[in-house]
């Protein structure tokens, strides 16, 4: 019976919660584990940061060694040092937001392999090669370090007295870093027996062929790698009479060093569209790189023609890194700009989009591209004015425009398709007196209604947009129509079918209106894609009516070219082109328009 009496007491103890001591021990264990994990994470983060800095430093060092190896051997030396040369003793390089101070030391080395000066045997030519020491100091790195690298620069002459020579072939990428495992194809059809070999570069990007039969411009070399571009020598021919890189010459007892630049290929996605992002198909363009394989005349390494498909797109693959230009030809459309501006700098191993913005021919046009003279980057929000007798137009770069000049197509059009149509009106607006203009309705030969309004169709800018101004012409109305006889409100939305269209004025409420003195659109509309306007006409005297010949809204979207202004509907003749932007010197020039489409680049100098 006593045993049975003890069991309830044990069960009660097991049902009790953790003691204070147990709780404290558990918390302490959790804290220790947390600290260990945190320290491990900190170590990993530190290692990653250090690795990134080392990679950046190694990139700079490899570039400099390659530069030195491609110099004339007599130039390899530090300015004012021994040996004397043209290399600055201290230089600054930037990589991944790090600033590296590079200190270069170059010394002649007497290799004991063939004896040393004054030794046995005595080397009467002790400067066998040059040892390059590079010290990179990164003061602003997350973990400031000093990195040291060394390299050798050898003279071209071999000390062997044999009758053959040597070819040192190096494959480098766009940054001058050696490419391992690049395929090298070497052919000499003039030698006996003929040479036709394929080999690969080593871990430093070199293939060194020793004891090669001599020959003058007889070695054709091609360097390639899967997924990379190709570089090669070229025989003189009808198509390339003066190659930039001739077949390699090998001289007796000499080392011939030659470098080939290849890198991963890239892809360009080309689209042809309007500045409201509507696709336009069948646009022809020629894509040309800047690299030359021949001169006198210049022969481009790459130049091919393409046509965008019915959906306005074309993908161009396997492109080498280069600065590409484009030319265009189409019987129905002119190029109103490009995004980005030309030339297009295509990086290795990248996929980049390129937009060709087009507009129907009308019939002569001028494309003005404005760039910073120092950075060569396009300058948005630049005022470009083109004038001649009877013509005066001002366009701000980087801004698209919607312009309606005719309403005679009538009402009932919800979305813009016919630019002469509109959505609705109150019945008091005339669109045909004169045809295409807006006026108040006439109730008799001498009397007009006192007021009326018209609501436009919905316009799609093509992407989220920034809205700038809305204006109308003519700006001067008959004084008899009273004060502000023309007023406009706009409504914007992220969708073409919002729950409601709220028409607002410049203060962002429905109580104000845009007029000739307040054309700037309220920033609350920015970020929307669709817009419509509502125009109000009124008169103080029913014997007179205001009239509207056109309405223009300016905006910026992803399909509006930066730094460019497109003038169309021009006639032949001389024009004055004035360009201005705050912070830059103004530009003015007389130009002649004489062809269907022309382009002019304007470089603005920053104000001193």
Burial environment of residue 520 by CB neighbours within 10 A (0 to 12, 13 to 18, 19 or more)? exposed
CB 318 within 8 A of CB 226: no
How far is Cα 321 from Cα 446, in angstroms, rounded to an integer? 71
pLDDT for the residue numbered 9: 47
Window from 32-46, 131-145, 298-312, 368-382 with minimum mean pLDDT = 32-46
Q: Which residue has the higher pLDDT, 522 or 89?
A: 522
pLDDT for the residue numbered 503: 97
Percent with pLDDT over 90 in the chain = 59
* CATH class of the structural domain 156-264: mainly beta
- Band (pLDDT 50/70/90 cuts) for residue 124 is very low
How far is Cα 111 from Cα 578, in angstroms, rounded to an integer? 67
What's the mean per-residue pLDDT of the chain? 86
CB 175 within 8 A of CB 347: no
Among 91-95, 113-117, 133-137, 437-441, the range with the most confident prediction by mean pLDDT is 437-441
- Torsion angle of alpha carbons 454, 460, 463, 465, nearest 10°? -20
- Band (pLDDT 50/70/90 cuts) for residue 489 is very high
- Band (pLDDT 50/70/90 cuts) for residue 257 is confident
Contacts of 152 (CB under 8 A, 6+ apart): 109, 129, 130, 131, 132
**Mean pLDDT value across residues 576-593:** 95
pLDDT at 122 over 60: no
CATH code that applies to domain 362-399+560-608: 2.60.40.1120
The token duo for 441 is 């309705």
pLDDT for the residue numbered 160: 42
Residue 330 per-residue DSSP state: -
**Mean pLDDT value across residues 398-412:** 92
E strand or H helix that includes residue 547: strand 547-548
Window from 102-106, 475-479, 523-527, 541-545 with minimum mean pLDDT = 102-106
Contacts of 369 (CB under 8 A, 6+ apart): 337, 341, 378, 563, 564, 599, 600, 601, 602
Burial environment of residue 102 by CB neighbours within 10 A (0 to 12, 13 to 18, 19 or more)? buried
The token duo for 276 is 């409201």
User: For the segment 221-245, what is each residue's pLDDT rounded down to a tens digit?
Assistant: 999 999 999 999 999 999 999 999 9
User: For the segment 269-287, what is each residue's pLDDT rounded down to a tens digit?
Assistant: 999 999 999 999 999 999 9
Q: Before 121, cis peptide (omega within 30)?
A: yes
Helix (H, G, I), strand (E, B) or coil at 556: strand
> Rounded to an integer, what is the distance from CA 489 to the centroid of its chain?
37
**Intra-chain end-to-end CA distance of the chain, in Å:** 107
| Residue labelled with tokens 């390059």 | 132
pTM: 0.68
User: For the segment 78-95, what is each residue's pLDDT rounded down to a tens digit?
Assistant: 775 446 678 888 888 887
Helix (H, G, I), strand (E, B) or coil at 47: helix
Look at residues 475, 497, 499, 479 and name the one whose alpha carbon lies nearest to residue 487: 475
Window from 62-76, 339-353, 592-606 with minimum mean pLDDT = 62-76
**Mean pLDDT value across residues 375-380:** 91
CB 491 within 8 A of CB 499: no
Phi, psi of 71 (to 5 degrees): -80, 160
Kindly write down the DSSP assignment for every residue of 112-171, as one continuous string.
Answer: GGG-BTTSSSB-SS---EEEEEEEEEETTSSS-EEEEEEEEE--SB-S--SS-EEEEEEE
| Residue labelled with tokens 């007497």 | 110
Q: Which residue has the higher pLDDT, 574 or 42?
A: 574
pLDDT at 169 over 60: yes
How far is Cα 364 from Cα 571, in angstroms, rounded to an integer? 6
The token duo for 229 is 């571009």
| Residue labelled with tokens 């007196």 | 433
How far is Cα 109 from Cα 112, in angstroms, rounded to an integer? 9
* CATH class of the structural domain 267-361: mainly beta
The token duo for 52 is 């990134």
**Mean pLDDT value across residues 198-208:** 87
Rg (alpha carbons) of the chain, rounded to whole number: 37
Burial environment of residue 238 by CB neighbours within 10 A (0 to 12, 13 to 18, 19 or more)? exposed
- Torsion angle of alpha carbons 381, 367, 277, 378, nearest 10°? -40
**Mean pLDDT value across residues 55-79:** 80
- Band (pLDDT 50/70/90 cuts) for residue 118 is very low
pLDDT for the residue numbered 127: 53
- Band (pLDDT 50/70/90 cuts) for residue 17 is low
The token duo for 601 is 């680049």
pLDDT for the residue numbered 208: 77
CB 482 within 8 A of CB 468: no
pLDDT for the residue numbered 150: 83
Kindly write down the DSSP assignment for every residue of 33-44, as one continuous string.
Answer: HHHHHHHHHHHH
pLDDT at 471 over 50: yes
């Amino acid at each position: 019976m006593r045993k049975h009496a003890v069991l309830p007491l044990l069960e009660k103890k097991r049902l009790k919660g953790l003691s204070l001591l147990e709780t404290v021990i558990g918390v302490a264990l959790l804290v220790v584990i947390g600290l260990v994990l945190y320290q491990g994470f900190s170590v990993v983060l530190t290692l990653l940061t250090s690795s990134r800095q080392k990679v950046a430093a190694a990139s700079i060092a490899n570039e400099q060694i390659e530069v030195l190896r491609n110099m004339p051997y007599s130039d390899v030396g530090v300015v004012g040092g021994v040996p004397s040369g043209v290399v600055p003793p201290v230089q600054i390089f930037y990589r991944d937001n790090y600033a590296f101070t590079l200190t270069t030391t170059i010394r002649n080395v007497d290799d004991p392999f063939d004896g040393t000066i004054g030794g046995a045997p005595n080397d009467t030519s002790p400067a066998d090669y040059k040892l390059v020491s590079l010290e990179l100091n990164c003061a602003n790195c997350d973990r400031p370090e000093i990195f040291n690298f060394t390299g050798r620069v050898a003279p071209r002459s071999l000390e062997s007295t044999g009758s053959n020579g040597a070819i040192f072939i190096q494959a480098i990428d766009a940054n001058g870093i050696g490419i391992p495992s690049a395929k090298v194809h070497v052919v000499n059809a003039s030698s006996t027996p003929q040479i036709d070999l394929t080999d690969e570069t080593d871990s430093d990007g070199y293939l060194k062929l020793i004891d090669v039969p001599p020959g003058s411009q007889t070695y054709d070399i091609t360097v390639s790698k899967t997924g990379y571009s190709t570089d090669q020598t070229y025989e003189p021919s009808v198509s390339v009479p003066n190659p930039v890189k001739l077949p390699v010459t090998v001289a007796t007892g000499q080392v011939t060093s030659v470098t080939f630049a290849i890198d991963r290929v890239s892809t360009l996605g080309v689209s042809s569209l309007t500045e409201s992002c509507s696709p336009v198909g069948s646009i022809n363009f020629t894509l040309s790189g800047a690299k030359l394989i021949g001169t006198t005349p210049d022969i481009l390494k790459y130049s091919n023609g393409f046509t965008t498909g019915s959906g306005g797109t074309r993908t161009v693959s396997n492109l080498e890194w280069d600065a590409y230009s484009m030319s265009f030809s189409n019987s129905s459309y002119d190029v109103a700009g490009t995004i980005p501006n030309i030339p297009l700098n295509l990086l290795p191993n990248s996929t980049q989009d390129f937009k060709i913005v087009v507009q129907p021919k009308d019939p002569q046009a001028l494309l003005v591209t404005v760039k910073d003279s120092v950075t060569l980057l396009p300058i948005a929000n630049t005022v470009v004015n083109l004038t001649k007798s009877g013509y005066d137009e001002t366009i701000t770069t980087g801004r698209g425009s919607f312009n309606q000049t005719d309403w005679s197509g009538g009402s009932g059009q919800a979305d813009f398709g016919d630019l002469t149509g509109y959505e609705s009106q109150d019945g008091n607006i005339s669109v045909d007196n004169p045809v295409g203009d807006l006026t108040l309705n006439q109730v008799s030969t001498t009397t007009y209604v006192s007021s009326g309004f018209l609501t436009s169709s919905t316009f799609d800018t093509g992407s989220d947009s920034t809205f700038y101004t809305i204006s109308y012409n003519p700006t001067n109305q008959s004084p008899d129509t009273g004060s502000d006889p023309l007023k406009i409100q706009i409504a914007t939305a992220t969708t073409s079918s919002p729950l409601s269209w709220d028409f607002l004025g410049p203060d962002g409420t429905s109580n104000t209106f845009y007029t000739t003195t307040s054309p700037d659109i309220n920033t609350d509309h920015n970020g929307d894609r669709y817009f419509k306007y509502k125009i109000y006409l009124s008169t103080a005297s029913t014997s007179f009516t205001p009239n509207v010949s056109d309405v223009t809204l300016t905006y910026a979207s992803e399909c509006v070219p930066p730094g460019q202004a497109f003038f169309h509907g021009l006639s032949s003749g001389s024009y004055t082109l004035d360009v201005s932007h705050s912070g830059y010197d103004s530009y003015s020039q007389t130009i002649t328009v004489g062809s269907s489409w022309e382009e002019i680049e304007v470089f603005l100098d920053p104000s001193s």
